[in-house]
Amino acid sequence: MIIGRFEKHESGFLGSLETLTIHVNSVRFIRQEKGADYSLRGPDDGELGAAWRKSGEWGDYLSVKLDCPSLLAPINATMKLSAADDGFYLLRWNRRNGKGNSESE
């Protein structure tokens, strides 16, 4: 399930998150020097999560963990580092299977 649409900017990505219960505009992926590769920030500059650059059989992507006080539990997602046909980078929610691994929705 797609939960975010982002455009590439100088310092990272800018876009929005949308699920059944969350609607946040002006979400930014900001490049970090230490720790995670990106910090996710909301419109009030509050931290929404972190992202790590990875590579797999489908190419380069970001492994994203969204976690903030409004969530009951963290959300795991991925974003391919290649734009879709419309030019947007799509953030996809990953469901945990019974074995503790993620499955893309």
Q: Supply the pLDDT for residue 96.
A: 67
Residue 105, pLDDT > 50, answer no
Work out the pLDDT band at 47, boundaries 50, 70, 90.
Answer: very high
**Domain-wise residue ranges, the chain:** 2-96
Q: Supply the pLDDT for residue 58.
A: 83
pTM across the whole model: 0.86
SS3 7: strand
Give φ, ψ of 44 to 5 degrees.
-95, 15
Residue 42 · residue 48 · CB < 8 Å: yes
Q: Supply the pLDDT for residue 98.
A: 53
N- to C-terminal Cα distance for the chain?
A: 5
Residue 19 · residue 2 · CB < 8 Å: no
Q: Supply the pLDDT for residue 20.
A: 82
